[in-house]
């Protein structure tokens, strides 16, 4: 089944659009600029073509954003929140169209595409409340008739570099918070999924226009790695929020740190679920299979390793093999299917190379992988989710492969399992399946998981926006979305007010003239 993409693009107001950038009300492109073609991994068809922005266009976008910040930062935070509330309502109206486009352009299931738009709606709701809660602290001064407090101010222009696997949700996590905090945003989406980004920008544009918001508060710029490098090195952009591979994140981190800017990095994951001898195995099976094959293994929170107690290892392995035999792979817009395609043929090649490397290192595949062929799979991007028995120290196991390859590892006691869980360079998401309270609490303690996310009796995927999202080690240390992640988009200022008629110095220092 193929959606009526022409009708969807028309409904979203982007039929015939092929821009290289937007400043929120003005769309433009350089007619001689290089094309970027958006190809659907679902059927291999071209959705549309856009232009890559030039250096001149990039500079215009940043300059426009800087001017818009002068206006937007003066708008009261609750008023900014009201506009974000309207954006959430606009997304509700376009949820089906935008979710379908996400599914078709990226290749995730329709339910996941709709869920991604729901995440955008949820973060708008969160940001509305946050707009009235940008709290600072008050402190007691050691000097008489003095008052101390802290307040938070916006940073200015926030650069957002997003990845293909969540082409719209992660942008919204950043943009909604950045806007209510008083910042303006420049978004560079993945060159693999530019059409969904253009659709989001159009929705934002309509909401902002209805509120007489000037251009530059929400900017979109299309391009490849070069645009990301321009953002990362630009001193006019005090904060870069980047989502992608660890390799990309290290490059961004070095560029931003070199100019003493700020960065939020959401990078690779190598997530595991510990299956305890005291686990509910049927519930564990659901979490493990969805975590491993959801989005065809292309989530940063995908379950890549199962660390299984030796006493239930064979039983649980048999359950997994049976479950994998029941997976339906095909068009993700058909809700009868469990698994859709990888994003492109480069991803397929990386998947095949990982399988070969795993076998060369000694991995035993209990469910074989491979590329699917036939009319239903003519895009060449559909692969079989596979399972291999491995050792945690294998080089391929230490590496994040963005594909549905699940590794099985056996353990004897929980301390060993936690060491295996932590024994990879990445530190994003983790989980334990157990009905044993002591095991659960140890896993969540300082001696337990070293990840930014640690779950009990749920899988590694499916984070809610209420909690801060992010990880440690090579995952980058950034936090987005809920809790107090908003502070990353602001600068803290400590204020001391002297309302006396003298000027005493701190620490009792005397300086008499």
Q: Please state, in angstroms and rounded to a whole number, the distance separating the CA atoms of residues 33 and 441.
A: 56
For residue 27, list its beta bridge partners. Answer: 22
For residue 472, list its beta bridge partners. Answer: 427
For residue 294, list its beta bridge partners. Answer: none
Question: What are residue 206's phi and psi, to 5 degrees?
Answer: -65, -40
Tell me if residue 356 is catalytic: no
| DSSP letters spanning 357-405 | HHHHTT-EEEE---B--SGGGTTS--B--EEEE--TT-HHHHS--SSSE
In sign, the C-alpha dihedral spanning 248, 253, 258, 264 is: positive
Question: What are residue 413's phi and psi, to 5 degrees?
Answer: -130, 165
**Residues 6 or more apart whose Cβ sits within 8 Å of residue 67:** 214, 216
Q: Please state, in angstroms and rounded to a whole number, the distance separating the CA atoms of residues 383 and 378.
A: 12
Q: 34: closest CA among 47, 49, 46?
A: 49
Characterize the bridge pairing of strands 35-39 and 27-28: unpaired
Q: Please state, in angstroms and rounded to a whole number, the distance separating the CA atoms of residues 491 and 477.
A: 18
CA angle 105, 301, 257 (to 5 degrees): 90
Q: Please state, in angstroms and rounded to a whole number, the distance separating the CA atoms of residues 18 and 226.
A: 19
Q: 342: closest CA among 293, 408, 387?
A: 293
Q: 88: closest CA among 59, 60, 37, 123?
A: 123
Burial class (CB in 10 A: 0-12, 13-18, 19+), 211: exposed
Tell me if residue 82 is catalytic: no
Q: 34: closest CA among 299, 223, 263, 250?
A: 223
Q: Which of 116, 266, 474, 480 is catalytic?
A: 266
CA angle 205, 206, 208 (to 5 degrees): 65
Q: 386: closest CA among 448, 338, 320?
A: 320
Q: 244: closest CA among 262, 220, 269?
A: 269
Q: Which of 181, 185, 300, 451 is catalytic?
A: 300
Active site residues: 266, 300
């Amino acid at each position: 089944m193929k959606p009526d993409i022409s009708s969807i693009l028309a409904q979203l107001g982007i039929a015939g659009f092929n821009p290289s950038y937007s400043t929120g009300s003005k769309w433009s492109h350089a007619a001689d600029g290089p094309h970027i073609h958006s190809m659907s991994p679902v059927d291999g068809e071209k959705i549309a073509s856009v232009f890559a922005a030039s250096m001149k266009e990039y500079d215009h976008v940043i300059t426009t954003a800087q001017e818009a910040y002068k206006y937007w930062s003066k708008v009261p935070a609750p008023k900014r929140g009201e506009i974000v509330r309207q954006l959430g309502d606009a997304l509700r109206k376009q949820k089906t169209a935008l979710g379908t486009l996400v599914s078709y352009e990226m290749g995730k299931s329709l339910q996941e595409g709709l869920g991604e738009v729901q995440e955008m709606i949820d973060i708008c709701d969160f940001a509305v409340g946050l707009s009235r809660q940008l709290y600072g602290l008050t402190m007691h001064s050691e000097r008489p008739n003095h008052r101390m407090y802290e307040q938070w101010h916006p940073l200015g222009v926030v650069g957002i570099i997003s990845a293909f696997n969540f082409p719209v949700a992660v942008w919204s996590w950043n943009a909604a918070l950045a806007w209510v905090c008083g910042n303006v945003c420049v978004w560079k989406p993945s060159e693999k999924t530019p059409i969904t980004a253009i659709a989001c920008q159009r929705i934002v544009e309509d909401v902002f226009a209805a509120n007489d918001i000037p251009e530059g508060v929400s900017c979109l710029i299309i391009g490849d790695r070069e645009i990301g490098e321009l953002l990362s090195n630009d001193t006019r952009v005090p904060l870069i929020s980047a989502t992608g591979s660890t390799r990309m994140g290290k490059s961004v981190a070095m560029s931003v740190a070199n100019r003493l800017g700020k960065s939020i990095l959401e990078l690779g994951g190598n997530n595991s679920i510990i299956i305890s001898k005291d686990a509910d195995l049927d519930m564990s099976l659901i979490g493990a299979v969805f975590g491993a094959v959801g989005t065809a293994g292309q989530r940063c929170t995908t379950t890549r390793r199962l660390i299984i107690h030796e006493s239930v290892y064979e039983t649980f392995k048999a359950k997994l093999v049976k479950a994998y035999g029941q997976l339906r792979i095909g068009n993700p817009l058909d809700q009868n299917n469990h698994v859709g395609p990888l994003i492109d043929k480069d991803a397929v090649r990386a998947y095949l190379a990982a399988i070969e490397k795993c076998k060369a290192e000694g991995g035993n595949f209990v469910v074989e992988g491979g590329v699917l062929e036939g009319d239903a799979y003519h895009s060449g991007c559909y692969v079989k989710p596979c399972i291999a028995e491995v050792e945690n120290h294998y080089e391929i196991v230490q590496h994040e492969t963005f594909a549905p390859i699940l590794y099985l590892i056996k353990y004897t006691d929980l301390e060993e399992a936690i060491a295996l869980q932590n024994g990879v360079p990445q530190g994003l998401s983790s989980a334990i399946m157990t009905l044993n309270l002591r095991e659960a609490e140890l896993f969540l303690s300082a001696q337990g998981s070293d990840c930014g996310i640690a779950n009990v009796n749920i899988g590694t995927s499916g984070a809610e926006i209420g909690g801060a999202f992010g990880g440690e080690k090579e995952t980058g240390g950034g936090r987005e979305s809920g809790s107090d992640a908003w502070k990353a988009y602001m600068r803290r200022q400590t204020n001391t007010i002297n309302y006396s008629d003298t000027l005493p110095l701190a620490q009792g220092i005397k300086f008499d003239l």
